[in-house]
Amino acid sequence: MLGSLGNVHWKAEPATVMKRDDSVIVPDLVASLRSGKKEYTLFVEAKSSGEPRFIAELAGRMTPLRGMGYPVLVAPFISERGRELCKSLDIGCVDMAGNAYLKFNGIWIEKWGRENLRKEKRLLRRLFTVKATFVMRTMFSDLKRKWTMERLSGSSGASIGQVSKVVERLAGEDYVDKRRGSITLKNPGALLDAWTKAYDFGKNRSTGYFCDFRGRQDLFRRLKKIPPGDYALTLGAAASIVAPVVRSTDVYIYARADRSRIIERLDLKPIEFGGNVHLVDPTDEGVFMHSQEKDGMTLVSNLQLYLDLYNYPMRGREQAEAVRKLMLG
């Protein structure tokens, strides 16, 4: 099989057994790539799935051949997470949409963003379903803990079957380490990055009110009189307590179905447009999971605060990064 791309020419043939240090490896294909007068060897592996866990396995299997050639994964679909993992492990990758990443010996080919972006979005939607996020929220509540299926089920409210499916998906994306019944988050930072792409605070319905308060401390004093289970403070007001790096005037409060007590205690007045206090009707109850008590008030968890802030336009990203440091160290 012959081909060319600009001044880069290649040919491929079925692989023969490759040996090094008494290790026997048989790649699916060995390709010779010539650029100018130089020729390079590529060890090509074709997989039905480009899941990150298979990428990690491929990197380990190809270790004995390092120095003899450059490993390349070919799969129908490789997610952005998979591509980033290939980069970090020094592996090339090509998908069936024509997206490609190759970087070795001065050759650098990176072409990404074709059609498969839709599959990336479907992957995110499947990974971050409501019940799945309940399981993830539970794992983020204690990053060092070694979980079992039973403990995750009991703490998240998801069934054993649901937990098992979520863990398998996370393992497929190389986000969790699962061995001998023990489940731990392997790369919480990367999982957070993926979650921010799937999460949109704007999907929550917010209602604006006018509140006649003299400074935020006056408002906070009123909030302390509301039972903890009725609400959870988020966005800039919550960040001002957890990680005060930006001066923010917005006040957003997740409210349970019965808002009458919040409206009465804060003396909120309906307003047609705008408002200085916003009551938020969440799309799911997960926003209240692992809420925290600070200074006599109820705040969303740091995880929820990070998600809410990340894409918020009023310097939200800056505040989110400060919260992320608190979470991950």
Q: Per-residue confidence at 196, pLDDT binned at 50, 70, 90?
A: very high
Report domain 2-115's class.
alpha beta
- Which pLDDT score is estimated for 17? 45
Domain 201-328 is found in CATH 3.30.460: yes
- Which pLDDT score is estimated for 142? 93
Tell me which residue of 277, 163, 189 sits closest to 231, measured CA to CA: 277
The yes-or-no verdict on residue 16 having pLDDT over 70 is: no
Give start and end residues of each alpha helix (H) in 63-146: 80-89, 117-127, 130-140
User: How high is the mean pLDDT of the chain?
Assistant: 84
d(CA 230, CA 91): 51
- Which pLDDT score is estimated for 216? 82
- Which pLDDT score is estimated for 113? 72
d(CA 190, CA 328): 11
Tokens of 51: 């899941």
Instruction: Report the percent of the chain where pLDDT is more than 70.
Output: 89
d(CA 39, CA 189): 39
Q: Per-residue confidence at 145, pLDDT binned at 50, 70, 90?
A: very high
Q: Is 102 helix (H, G, I), strand (E, B) or coil?
A: strand
Comparison of pLDDT for 15 and 318, the residue scoring more: 318
What burial class does residue 109 get, using C-beta atoms within 10 Å of its C-beta: 0-12 exposed, 13-18 middle, 19+ buried? middle
Q: Is 45 helix (H, G, I), strand (E, B) or coil?
A: strand
The yes-or-no verdict on residue 30 having pLDDT over 90 is: no
The yes-or-no verdict on residue 134 having pLDDT over 90 is: yes
The yes-or-no verdict on residue 62 having pLDDT over 60 is: yes
Q: Where along the chain do the CATH 3.40.1350.10 domains lie? A: 2-115
Nearest-10 Cα torsion for 109, 115, 118, 119: -70
Calculate mean pLDDT across residues 190-212.
90
d(CA 153, CA 85): 30
The yes-or-no verdict on residue 50 having pLDDT over 60 is: yes
Would you say 242 and 294 are in contact if contact means Cβ atoms under 8 Å apart? yes
The yes-or-no verdict on residue 249 having pLDDT over 80 is: no
- Which pLDDT score is estimated for 2? 39
Report domain 128-198's class.
mainly alpha
- Which pLDDT score is estimated for 321? 94
d(CA 167, CA 143): 15
Give the pLDDT confidence of 77-124 residue by residue, as tens digits. 888 888 888 998 898 988 888 888 999 888 888 887 776 555 656 666
Long-range contacts of 172-180 (CB under 8 A, 24+ apart): 172/49, 172/51, 172/52, 172/53, 173/51, 173/52, 173/53, 173/79, 173/81, 173/127, 174/51, 174/52, 174/53, 174/55, 174/56, 174/81, 174/85, 176/139
Q: Where along the chain do the CATH 3.30.460 domains lie? A: 201-328
- Which pLDDT score is estimated for 123? 62
Kindly give the pairing relationship between strand 107-111 and strand 297-299.
Answer: unpaired
Q: Where along the chain do the CATH 1.10.10.10 domains lie? A: 128-198
Q: Is 72 helix (H, G, I), strand (E, B) or coil?
A: strand
Residues facing residue 42 across a β-bridge: 31, 70
pTM above 0.85, yes or no: no
> What's phi and psi for 159, nearest 5 deg?
-70, 165
